[in-house]
Amino acid sequence: MTTEFILSEATIQSVTSALADGVISCEEIVVAYLKRIDTLDQCGELPINSFIATNAKCVEEARHIDTLPMNQRGPLAGIPIVIKDNIDLAGMPTTAGCFALRGNFAKSDATIIRKLRAAGAIFIGKTNLAEFSWTGLYSTSSVGGLSRNPYDTLRTTGGSSGGTAAAVAANFAVAGVGTDTGASVRGPCAHQNLVGLRPTIGTCSRAGIIPVSSTRDTPGPMARCVADAAILHHVMKGFDLKDTSTWHASRQLGLPEIFKYTDHSIRGMRLGIPRQLLDVPCADIEVVKQFERAVDDLRSLGAVVVECDEPHFAILSNIEPPFRMKPDFDAYLLSKQVKGPVNSFAELAASGQYGDDVADFIRKQVDVTEIDRLKTEGKYERLVSRLRREILRIWDREHVAAFIFPTWMRPPDYLENIGGHCGNNNRWVAHVGFPAISVPMGNTIDGLPTGLQIAGRPFTEEVLLLIANDYEKSTRHRNCPMI
Q: What is the 3-state secondary structure (H, E, C) of 263-309?
A: CCCCCCCEEEECHHHCCCCCCCHHHHHHHHHHHHHHHHCCCEEEECC
Question: What is the three-class DSSP state of 437?
Answer: strand
Burial class from Cβ neighbours inside 10 Å (0-12, 13-18, 19+) for residue 444 reads middle
Burial class from Cβ neighbours inside 10 Å (0-12, 13-18, 19+) for residue 67 reads exposed
The pLDDT assigned to 367 comes to: 87
* Residue 203 belongs to domain with CATH number: 3.90.1300.10
The pLDDT assigned to 251 comes to: 60
Residue 51 included in any domain: yes
Question: Nearest to residue 126, comparing CAs of 241, 210, 212, 6?
Answer: 210
**Rounded Cα gap, residues 393 and 384, in angstroms:** 14
Burial class from Cβ neighbours inside 10 Å (0-12, 13-18, 19+) for residue 250 reads exposed
**In which element (H, E) is residue 22 found?**
none
**Rounded Cα gap, residues 435 and 423, in angstroms:** 19
**Rounded Cα gap, residues 23 and 261, in angstroms:** 39
Residue 5 included in any domain: no
* Dihedral sign (CA 137, 143, 145, 146): negative
The pLDDT assigned to 261 comes to: 39
Evaluate if residue 4 carries a pLDDT over 60. Answer: yes
Evaluate if residue 1 carries a pLDDT over 80. Answer: no
What b/e sequence results for 145-163 when a residue is b if at least 16 CB atoms lie within 10 Å of its CB, and e otherwise?
A: bbbbbbbbbebbbbbbbbb
Output the 3-class SS for 136-193.
CCCCEECCCEECCECCECCECCCCCCHHHHHHHHCCCCCEEEEEECCCCCHHHHHHCC
How would you classify the pairing of strands 270-273 and 436-443? unpaired
Chain centroid offset of residue 28 CA: 28
Question: Nearest to residue 155, comparing CAs of 201, 182, 188?
Answer: 188
Phi (first) and psi of residue 457, to 5 degrees: -70, 160
| pLDDT tens-digit map of 402-424 | 999 999 999 999 999 998 899 99
The pLDDT assigned to 431 comes to: 97
The CA distances from residue 73 to 123, 133, 173, 437, in Å, are: 16, 34, 19, 29
- Active-site residue, 8 included: no
Sheet holding 218-223, edge to edge: 51-54, 122-127, 80-84, 175-180, 218-223, 195-198, 436-443, 449-456, 402-406, 270-273, 304-307
| pLDDT tens-digit map of 258-315 | 444 344 579 999 999 999 999 999 999 999 999 999 999 999 999 999 999 888 888 8
| pLDDT tens-digit map of 91-145 | 999 999 999 999 999 999 999 999 999 999 999 999 999 999 999 999 999 999 9
Residue 87 included in any domain: yes
| pLDDT tens-digit map of 333-390 | 999 878 899 999 999 999 999 999 999 999 999 989 999 999 999 999 999 999 999 9
| pLDDT tens-digit map of 144-173 | 999 999 999 999 999 999 999 999 999 999
Residue 32 included in any domain: yes
The pLDDT assigned to 257 comes to: 44
Is 174:29 a contact under the CB 8 Å cutoff? no
* DSSP symbols for 310-327: -TTHHHHH--PPP--HHH
Question: What is the three-class DSSP state of 122?
Answer: strand
The pLDDT assigned to 240 comes to: 95
Residue 483 included in any domain: no
Residue 6 included in any domain: no
The CA distances from residue 390 to 148, 175, 386, 405, in Å, are: 38, 35, 6, 18
Cis peptide before 474 (omega within 30 of 0): no
Angle between helices 226-236 and 12-20 (to 10 degrees): 80
Number of H helices, E strands in the chain: 15, 13
Residue 2 included in any domain: no
Number of domains comprising the chain: 1
The catalytically annotated residue of 139, 142, 147, 160 is 160
Chain centroid offset of residue 131 CA: 15
- Active-site residue, 335 included: no
Is 397:381 a contact under the CB 8 Å cutoff? no
Domain range enclosing 268:
12-475
| pLDDT tens-digit map of 31-82 | 999 999 999 999 999 999 999 999 999 999 999 999 999 999 999 999 999 9
Cβ-based neighbours of 376, under 8 Å, separated by 6 or more: 322, 323
User: Which residue type, as a one-letter code, is found at position 399?
Assistant: H
At 250, the pLDDT band (50, 70, 90 cuts) reads low
Residue 40 included in any domain: yes
Question: What is the three-class DSSP state of 87?
Answer: strand
The catalytically annotated residue of 184, 213, 245, 317 is 184
